[in-house]
Amino acid sequence: MDRIRIYTAFIAVFDKKNLEELVPVLLEYKIKALGTAGTVAYLQSRGVEAQNVVDGYEYDSRVKSLSRKNFVAILADKNKSDHVQHLKDEGINPIDAVIVDLYKPDQKNFPETMDIGGQALIRAAVKNYTNVAVAFDKLSINKLAEQLIKHNGETPLSYRKNAAIAAAKYIAGRAKLEADYWKSI
């Protein structure tokens, strides 16, 4: 599957400014957004169809996005008939893009300020890069918007692979930062 059309994106960003170039693209290609309450409110205020999918999964603001349904939607391989059937049986629409930035952990309040859900979402998209595009910071979000414009709402496999590699490196860097923070506890 070289090109995939982006119909649904999981979007949860700490810095809403990172979405400024993406919002018109979401509107142009009628991409539905699923995400966390703050991001959904921001997107809805700009006319994007968006739905909060973390109701009932939030735990004292310690984790918001780790629900089975979200991960099934991200990890489903659309080339496998049993995965496609599983999505249908459970009434789950696949997620075609994961757009998540991570808030920086506060060394003074560490490990409480670790971003758990965001990292897991990014890793799930990386694992399933053949079916899911990933963006994790302003630069990668803008690159995704450029790809969607260039390819009429689609992303090519070569782009998704490169984005997955960049995201994996980003997560590795975050893990190192957090490991270093442990030294100060």
Measured distance between the N- and C-terminal CA atoms of the chain, rounded to whole angstroms: 47
Write down the pLDDT at residue 16. Answer: 96
Write down the pLDDT at residue 65. Answer: 57
Neighbours of 44 (CB within 10 A): 14
Domains of the chain: 3-182 (3.40.50.1380)
Write down the pLDDT at residue 64. Answer: 56
Write down the pLDDT at residue 185. Answer: 77
Write down the pLDDT at residue 76. Answer: 95
Euclidean distance between CA atoms 139 and 104, whole angstroms: 16
> How is 129-172 classified by DSSP, letter by letter?
TTT-EEE-SHHHHHHHHHHHHHTTTEEEHHHHHHHHHHHHHHHH
Task: Please report which confidence band the pLDDT of residue 106 belongs to, taking 50, 70 and 90 as the band edges.
Answer: confident
pLDDT at 83 over 80: yes
Percent of the chain surpassing pLDDT 90: 71
Q: pLDDT tens for residues 25-45?
A: 999 999 999 998 899 999 999
More confident residue, 65 or 84: 84
Tokens 């053949």 appear where? 130
Q: pLDDT tens for residues 168-183?
A: 999 999 989 888 888 8
Euclidean distance between CA atoms 45 and 177, whole angstroms: 34
Task: Please report which confidence band the pLDDT of residue 57 belongs to, taking 50, 70 and 90 as the band edges.
Answer: low
Write down the pLDDT at residue 160. Answer: 98
